[in-house]
């Protein structure tokens, strides 16, 4: 038996603003979309071309207030080849980012970027997880 991780869903208030963020800031691309007007929602799936895991953005037509992210949700994580260049780009484009951190006793370096709805994505230097 083989299991596969397929996608993670997050709910967003402004679909276009969120699409712009995930495409421009993180380099994801839209791979498919399902609009369900009778139930008042749209699903948009984003992915990198290199693998099949997807991020599902769920937009509910009538959601006017911010979603409660809750204290159980942590973050998404993306590996990049040049962490410093990614960080500089995100800072230059006025995204909400943290400084670059490292884990104690580890060569892992990373920072966090926050999307328009407050979801965090950890950006990790490839080949430094230990």
Q: Which domains does the chain show, CATH number per domain?
A: 1-62 (3.10.180.10), 75-130 (3.10.180.10)
Question: What DSSP state is assigned to residue 66?
Answer: P
Rounded to two decimals, the pTM is 0.85
CB 86 within 8 A of CB 66: no
CB 54 within 8 A of CB 47: yes
pLDDT of residue 5: 77
pLDDT of residue 130: 58
Cβ count within 10 A of residue 62? 6
Cα–Cα dist 81/123, whole Å: 10
pLDDT of residue 1: 62
Give yes or no for residue 3 having a pLDDT over 70: no
DSSP H helical ranges for the chain: 15-24, 83-92
Percent of the chain with pLDDT over 70: 95
CB 60 within 8 A of CB 11: yes
Most confident segment among 5-14, 61-70, 111-120: 111-120
3-state secondary structure of 95: coil
Chain-centroid distance, C-alpha 115: 7
Cα–Cα dist 22/20, whole Å: 6
pLDDT of residue 63: 82
Catalytic (active site) residue 49? no
pLDDT in tens, 29-46: 999 999 999 999 999 999
* Radius of gyration of the chain from its Cα atoms, rounded to whole angstroms: 16
């Amino acid at each position: 038996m083989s299991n596969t991780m397929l996608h993670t869903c997050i709910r967003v208030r402004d679909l276009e603003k969120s699409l712009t963020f995930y495409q421009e800031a993180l380099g994801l691309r839209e791979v498919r979309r399902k609009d369900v007007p009778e139930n008042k929602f749209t699903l948009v799936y984003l992915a990198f071309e290199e693998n099949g895991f997807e991020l599902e953005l769920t937009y509910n037509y009538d959601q006017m207030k911010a979603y409660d992210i809750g204290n159980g949700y942590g973050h998404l994580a993306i590996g990049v080849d040049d962490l410093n260049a990614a960080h500089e780009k995100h800072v230059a484009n006025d995204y909400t980012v943290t400084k670059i951190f490292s884990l104690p006793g580890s060569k892992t370096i990373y920072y966090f970027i926050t999307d328009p709805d407050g979801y965090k994505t950890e950006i990790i230097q490839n080949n430094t997880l230990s």
